[in-house]
Amino acid sequence: MAKTINRLRVVIVGAGFGGLAAAKRLAGHNVDVTLIDRRNHHVFQPLLYQVATAALSPADIAGPIRAILSNARNVRVVLDEVSAVEPACRIVHLTSGRVIHYDALILATGARHSYFGNDKWAANAPGLKTIEDALAIRRKVLLALEQAETEEDPERRQALLTFVVIGAGPTGVEMAGAIAELARRSVSRDFRSITPHCSRVLLVEAGDRVLPSFPPKLSAAAASSLRKLGVELRFGDPVSDVGAGYVAVGHELILAQTVVWAAGVQASPAADWLHVERDRNGRIIVGADLRVPRRGEVFAIGDTASLAGPDRRALPAVAPVAKQQGKYVADLILGRRVRLFAYHDYGNLATIGRNSAVIDWGRLQLSGFIAWLIWSCAHIWFLIGFRSRLTVSLGWLWNYLTYQRSARLITGEIPALPQPGHAQPIERKCA
Amino acid sequence: MAKTINRLRVVIVGAGFGGLAAAKRLAGHNVDVTLIDRRNHHVFQPLLYQVATAALSPADIAGPIRAILSNARNVRVVLDEVSAVEPACRIVHLTSGRVIHYDALILATGARHSYFGNDKWAANAPGLKTIEDALAIRRKVLLALEQAETEEDPERRQALLTFVVIGAGPTGVEMAGAIAELARRSVSRDFRSITPHCSRVLLVEAGDRVLPSFPPKLSAAAASSLRKLGVELRFGDPVSDVGAGYVAVGHELILAQTVVWAAGVQASPAADWLHVERDRNGRIIVGADLRVPRRGEVFAIGDTASLAGPDRRALPAVAPVAKQQGKYVADLILGRRVRLFAYHDYGNLATIGRNSAVIDWGRLQLSGFIAWLIWSCAHIWFLIGFRSRLTVSLGWLWNYLTYQRSARLITGEIPALPQPGHAQPIERKCA
């Protein structure tokens, strides 16, 4: 596949875990790489929930793509968005109007949340995929606490202090645990009218247990940790409606100002660009070497690709799959390897608050504090760049020792708070 | 002034340096304090320019007001905005519709930038007073570099790489130095088409020297440091127009995508609320005990107040003045002190880039690296809270050793980049 005179042009779309791994593997080799992303930064998504709950700053878990690839002189980073792909001409069209030619194309465009056809829920139940998503949720949670502090009407105050997380996969479990710590513990000394116990945090799951991709024993351990943090678990009914200030679960109407969506994802529109077959989550069904069918020079990796593992189930949408696939495709393009892609599963982790996590290593299953320590070390280790590792470690240590949340900033304009009535003396009020 | 049965109600408007100092001094005493701010966070304004130039994250220099006053059980923090004051009834009206009664009122509402009657310049020449301002400037500077990387037209590319700072007071000098370091040094390895020397940074000042409030010797030292960083200085002509992509200085038209305003401030509308006399910057002319004339129970401090120092010139709009005034007024309300307010001037500092600063201690004047070390220690010392001190110290050390800027994130939606034409091979282009 390598050309000798004209260098091979490799175009990578998306600088998530998969795209970045491919770019790093191709760095320094005799190919011209163009990495296109519509953001200027790579995000360490597993810790996004800590930005959403004010424990970390965006720059702690995100770094400029250019800086990460600064020394990769054969890699050019382009801040732009792909609008279309013309596989017949091997051309990528960008929204700026520019076009880029490729000899090999790697689609690593990731996924967005899916509302199962109810896109109007998005306005009131934001999901968590980008820095902007995280800042919007942080703003929403912190503003609800501020408004509750001055709200006189007990029912309205309770709605402001009710936080609902929809979906009990790893993201939902982590969000619910972190919101419970923030709303029920960290800020407790800072408010005068509301007390921590006024806050309700609900985790809503249509299935019958949290962390359905983990063994039942670990689900039970996680559920127990969540309950200790004060999270109410609600199983068995799907969400039937979400609107401004409420969420309907089965036949129950829950009044809640803050609703977070962690229930489903949908692949980005890479399959549309190529008009190829996709699975029900919109992912391109790729061959065992990650090539798009009938397009030998186009590859799809990470959340963009659908590939069955040895157990015939689709590989999970996690960072290690994307990274391994990025490296594999890069090796394939460099002519290095001929075997088919095989995913090496090094285990499955999820965390619940400041003292507890669950780890599934197949035969060995861990939960509790030891699992949490391993989870912390693993996440700091995999963070991009020394600076972030050090900052995040210190931030966590500080949060752990003090129960403080250091990034509790509400940015953007503060909306007018519609609260008629006269100022009251300082007293605790709780429904 | 103290009541024995009903506790004295003190209302403070604004949680900047002045308002916060007053609230801290009143903490634990036999008064009920209400601190009103339209943001939930206090900002350490002297370091805002480091957020604007991607060296620090917002949470490094800002902290939740509630957390700062967490242990002050007699202080209630209210997130809201004052819409009017009724001094006859001793009532403050909030935009939420609520009203708050006071026995003593401290106005510490600070200042905004002033465009000398040309408010339409604001859209293209943002100033630097809030976290939002800093993030908007950061976004603008980083986007200009990104767009320059792919721009084919030499004239347009040069405009993208031209950064103009208007006003050579401390903020303007600090901004110009930091932008020069960012655009001409920190990012140099990260881009492929543009080189550091493509960038122009201009500091425009209508007067005849930088840092006009410092002695001429220190102005000359600062100017020399700026020139070493590659900043072009332009003296003697005021700005006559600012529009999209240009700024007019005297008879010269400078094409520049990024223009930052650091030329003037205007007090917030506290004087309008009270219908009292103000100076030409909109500040309330207060008595020597910081009381508003004919309103003995209303005080104005910091950038909201106009008070002449011993040299008959108005006290400077700096943090130490606001802090000392906040403490003084709190003592006055607590019945502690009867002397008139006297400002203790501990010196005047400004920094220029990573190695140089100027310090004016009256007889002793310092410039260069030693001054920069003193400036760094002073700023870290005065940062609110141990966490920020540690994070900022580490961040600075990291930046210093590596020339990196750790917070180079462009957040918010990326606009479509209108750049027709075809992708070019990797090569350096510079007008």
Query: How far is the alpha carbon of A301 from chain B, nearest alpha carbon, in Å?
Result: 24
Domain boundary pick from A294, A313, A333: A333
A107 and A156 share one domain: no
A134 and A238 share one domain: yes
B90: contact with A, CB 8 A cutoff: no
Answer whether residue A357 is part of any domain: no
A253 and A280 share one domain: no
- A399/A138: higher pLDDT: A138
Answer whether residue B64 is part of any domain: yes
Dihedrals φ, ψ of A284, to 5°?
-70, 130
Question: For the residues B410-415, what does the mean pLDDT come to?
Answer: 63
DSSP string, B219-231: HHHHHHHHHHTTE
How far is the CA of A160 from the CAs of A415, B38, B399, in angstroms?
A: 15, 19, 41
Name the nearest CA neighbour of A261 among A118, A393, A395: A118
- A237/B56: higher pLDDT: A237
Name the nearest CA neighbour of A49 among A158, A162, A191, A203: A203
Q: Which residue has the tokens 């106009």?
A: B306
Least confident among A171-180, A407-416, B127-136, B248-257 = A407-416
B169 and B187 share one domain: yes
A99: contact with B, CB 8 A cutoff: yes
Taking the C-alpha atoms of residue A107 and residue A298, their distance in angstroms, rounded to an integer, is: 7
Question: For the residues A52-71, what does the mean pLDDT come to?
Answer: 89
Q: How many CA atoms lie within 13 A of A93 on its CB side?
A: 11
B401: contact with A, CB 8 A cutoff: no
- DSSP state letter for B185: I
B228 and B130 share one domain: yes
Domain boundary pick from B263, B283, B300: B263
Question: Are the CB atoms for B17 and B325 separated by under 8 Å?
Answer: no
Dihedrals φ, ψ of B249, to 5°?
-125, 115
Name the nearest CA neighbour of A325 among A72, A20, A36: A20
Cross-chain CB nearest to B59 (options A40, A63, A409): A409
Question: For the residues B303-307, what does the mean pLDDT come to?
Answer: 94
How far is the CA of B80 from the CAs of A161, B13, B100, B302, in angstroms?
A: 19, 10, 11, 20
Mutate to test the interface with A, among B38, B145, B391 (most CBs of A within 10 A): B391
A165 and A247 share one domain: yes
Q: Is the pLDDT of residue B430 over 60?
A: no
Q: A292 pLDDT band (50/70/90 cuts)?
A: very high
A96: contact with B, CB 8 A cutoff: yes
Answer whether residue A85 is part of any domain: yes
B11: contact with A, CB 8 A cutoff: no
Taking the C-alpha atoms of residue B325 and residue A347, their distance in angstroms, rounded to an integer, is: 59
Q: Is the pLDDT of residue B106 over 80?
A: yes
Least confident among A222-231, A296-305, A327-336, A394-403 = A394-403
A415: contact with B, CB 8 A cutoff: no
- Report CB contact under 8 Å: A78, B150: yes
Q: Is the pLDDT of residue A423 over 70?
A: no
A132: contact with B, CB 8 A cutoff: yes
pLDDT at A424 (0 to 100): 40
Answer whether residue A343 is part of any domain: no
Q: Which of residues 238-277 of A touch B (CB under 8 A)?
A: none
- B392/B215: higher pLDDT: B215
- Report CB contact under 8 Å: A59, B62: no
Cross-chain CB nearest to A410 (options B40, B387, B422): B40
Q: Is the pLDDT of residue B417 over 90?
A: no
Taking the C-alpha atoms of residue B252 and residue B11, their distance in angstroms, rounded to an integer, is: 50
What tokens appear for A195 in the block?
């007390």
List, for residues A100-145, the tens digit of each pLDDT value: 999 999 999 999 888 988 999 999 999 999 999 999 999 999 999 9
Taking the C-alpha atoms of residue B421 and residue B417, their distance in angstroms, rounded to an integer, is: 12
Answer whether residue A270 is part of any domain: yes
B182 and B205 share one domain: yes
Q: A376 pLDDT band (50/70/90 cuts)?
A: confident
pLDDT at B16 (0 to 100): 96
Q: How many residues does chain B have?
A: 431
Mutate to test the interface with A, among B182, B189, B414, B428 (most CBs of A within 10 A): B414
pLDDT at B183 (0 to 100): 87
Q: Which residue of chain B comes nearest to A386, CA vs CA?
A: B398
- B60/A328: higher pLDDT: A328
Write down the mean pLDDT value for chain B. Answer: 88
Domain boundary pick from A263, A283, A310: A263
- Report CB contact under 8 Å: B34, A423: yes
Q: B82 pLDDT band (50/70/90 cuts)?
A: very high
Residue A7 CB coordination number (10 Å):
16
Query: How far is the alpha carbon of B10 from chain A, nearest alpha carbon, in Å?
Result: 13
- Report CB contact under 8 Å: B58, A135: no
Q: A331 pLDDT band (50/70/90 cuts)?
A: very high
Q: What is the domain count for chain A?
A: 2
List, for residues B374-409, the tens digit of each pLDDT value: 988 888 888 766 666 777 777 777 767 766 666 777
Q: A239 pLDDT band (50/70/90 cuts)?
A: very high
Question: Distance from CA of residue A65 to its chain's centroid?
Answer: 18
In three-state secondary structure terms, A13 is strand
Out of B151, B174, B181, B205, which one is annotated catalytic?
Answer: B174
Q: Which residue of chain A comes nearest to B194, CA vs CA?
A: A76
- Report CB contact under 8 Å: B416, A96: yes
Taking the C-alpha atoms of residue B83 and residue B273, their distance in angstroms, rounded to an integer, is: 8
Q: Which of residues 35-54 of B touch A (CB under 8 A)?
A: 38-41
pLDDT at B424 (0 to 100): 40
Q: How many CB pairs under 8 A join A and B?
A: 191
Q: Which long-range contacts (CB under 8 A, 24 or more apart) does B352-356 make?
A: B352/B173, B352/B174, B352/B177, B352/B222, B352/B225, B352/B226, B352/B229, B353/B177, B353/B178, B353/B180, B353/B181, B353/B225, B353/B226, B353/B229, B354/B181, B354/B399, B354/B400, B355/B225, B356/B177, B356/B221, B356/B222, B356/B225, B356/B228
Full residue range of the structural domain in which residue A293 is found: 8-38+80-113+265-333
Question: Are the CB atoms for B257 and B245 separated by under 8 Å?
Answer: yes
| Helix (H) or strand (E) run with residue B402 in it | helix B386-402
Contacts of B393 in chain A (CB under 8 A): none
SS (H, E, C) B404-430: CCCCCCCCCCCCCCCCCCECCCCCCCC
Q: A417 pLDDT band (50/70/90 cuts)?
A: very low
Q: Is the pLDDT of residue B321 over 70?
A: yes
A131: contact with B, CB 8 A cutoff: yes
Packing angle, helices A319-333 and A17-26, rounded to 10: 30
Contacts of B131 in chain A (CB under 8 A): 409, 411
| Helix (H) or strand (E) run with residue A77 in it | strand A75-79
Angle (CA) B116-B120-B126 rounded to 5° is 80
Partners of A203 in the β-ladder: A165, A233
Q: B419 pLDDT band (50/70/90 cuts)?
A: very low
Question: Distance from CA of residue B78 to its chain's centroid?
Answer: 23
Q: Which residue of chain B comes nearest to A186, CA vs CA?
A: B67
Answer whether residue B383 is part of any domain: no
List, for residues B201-212, the tens digit of each pLDDT value: 999 999 999 999
**For position A322, which CATH number holds?**
3.50.50.60
Query: How far is the alpha carbon of A334 from chain B, nearest alpha carbon, in Å?
Result: 20
- Report CB contact under 8 Å: A416, B34: no
Give the contacts of A313 (CB within 8 A, at least 6 positions apart): none
Question: Are the CB atoms for A364 and A24 separated by under 8 Å?
Answer: no
B281: contact with A, CB 8 A cutoff: no
Q: Which of residues 149-178 of A touch B (CB under 8 A)?
A: 149-150
Answer whether residue B48 is part of any domain: yes
Residue A319 CB coordination number (10 Å):
18
Q: B427 pLDDT band (50/70/90 cuts)?
A: very low
pLDDT at B384 (0 to 100): 67
Question: For the residues B99-122, what does the mean pLDDT come to?
Answer: 94
Taking the C-alpha atoms of residue A383 and residue A387, their distance in angstroms, rounded to an integer, is: 9
Q: B231 pLDDT band (50/70/90 cuts)?
A: very high
Answer whether residue A388 is part of any domain: no
Taking the C-alpha atoms of residue A184 and residue A189, their distance in angstroms, rounded to an integer, is: 10
B234: contact with A, CB 8 A cutoff: no
A189 and A145 share one domain: yes
Taking the C-alpha atoms of residue B104 and residue B296, their distance in angstroms, rounded to an integer, is: 9
| Amino acid present at B364 | L
- B379/A360: higher pLDDT: A360
Query: How far is the alpha carbon of A92 from chain B, nearest alpha carbon, in Å?
Result: 11
- B192/A17: higher pLDDT: A17
What tokens appear for B74 in the block?
């007699």
How far is the CA of A117 from the CAs of A121, A240, A269, in angstroms?
A: 9, 12, 15
Contacts of A135 in chain B (CB under 8 A): 411
A288: contact with B, CB 8 A cutoff: no
List, for residues A133-161, the tens digit of each pLDDT value: 999 999 999 999 999 998 989 999 999 99
A127 and A216 share one domain: yes
Contacts of B74 in chain A (CB under 8 A): 426
- Report CB contact under 8 Å: B142, A40: yes
List, for residues B6-22, the tens digit of each pLDDT value: 899 999 999 999 999 99
B66: contact with A, CB 8 A cutoff: yes
Q: Is the pLDDT of residue A425 over 70?
A: no
pLDDT at A5 (0 to 100): 62
Least confident among A26-30, A376-380, B217-221 = A376-380
Q: Is the pLDDT of residue B428 over 70?
A: no
Q: Which residue of chain B comes nearest to A418, CA vs CA?
A: B96
Q: B412 pLDDT band (50/70/90 cuts)?
A: low
Helix ranges restricted to H, A31-162: 48-52, 58-61, 65-68, 131-150, 154-160
A162 and A176 share one domain: yes
pLDDT at A147 (0 to 100): 92
List, for residues A247-275, the tens digit of each pLDDT value: 999 999 999 999 999 998 888 889 999 99
Q: A427 pLDDT band (50/70/90 cuts)?
A: very low
Q: Is the pLDDT of residue B415 over 90?
A: no
To the nearest whole percent, how much of chain A has pLDDT over 90? 66
Strands (E), A87-183: 91-94, 99-101, 104-107, 111-113, 162-166
Helix, strand, coil abundance in chain B, percent, nearest 5: 35, 25, 40
A270 and A251 share one domain: no
Mutate to test the interface with A, among B132, B409, B422, B428 (most CBs of A within 10 A): B409
Q: Is the pLDDT of residue B418 over 80?
A: no
Residue A264 CB coordination number (10 Å):
15
**For position A147, which CATH number holds?**
3.50.50.100
Packing angle, helices B319-333 and B17-26, rounded to 10: 30
Query: How far is the alpha carbon of A348 from chain B, nearest alpha carbon, in Å?
Result: 30
- DSSP state letter for B340: P
What tokens appear for A10 in the block?
């490799």
Question: Are the CB atoms for A44 and A102 separated by under 8 Å?
Answer: no
Q: B425 pLDDT band (50/70/90 cuts)?
A: very low
**Given the DSSP bridges, would you call strands A252-255 and A246-249 parallel, antiparallel or unpaired?**
antiparallel
Taking the C-alpha atoms of residue A221 and residue A356, their distance in angstroms, rounded to an integer, is: 9
Helix ranges restricted to H, B232-368: 270-274, 319-333
Taking the C-alpha atoms of residue A236 and residue B289, their distance in angstroms, rounded to an integer, is: 67
Q: Is the pLDDT of residue B268 over 90?
A: no
B132: contact with A, CB 8 A cutoff: yes
List, for residues B16-50, the tens digit of each pLDDT value: 999 999 999 999 999 999 999 999 999 999 999 99
B101 and B78 share one domain: yes
Strands (E), A145-217: 162-166, 200-205
Give catalytic residue positions of A: 174
Give the contacts of B342 (CB within 8 A, at least 6 positions apart): none
Question: For the residues B353-375, what does the mean pLDDT come to?
Answer: 89
Write down the mean pLDDT value for chain A. Answer: 88
Q: A321 pLDDT band (50/70/90 cuts)?
A: very high
| Helix (H) or strand (E) run with residue B351 in it | strand B348-352
Partners of A43 in the β-ladder: A62
How far is the CA of B131 from the CAs of A121, B138, B350, in angstroms?
A: 30, 10, 20
Name the nearest CA neighbour of A78 among A13, A133, A142, A27: A13
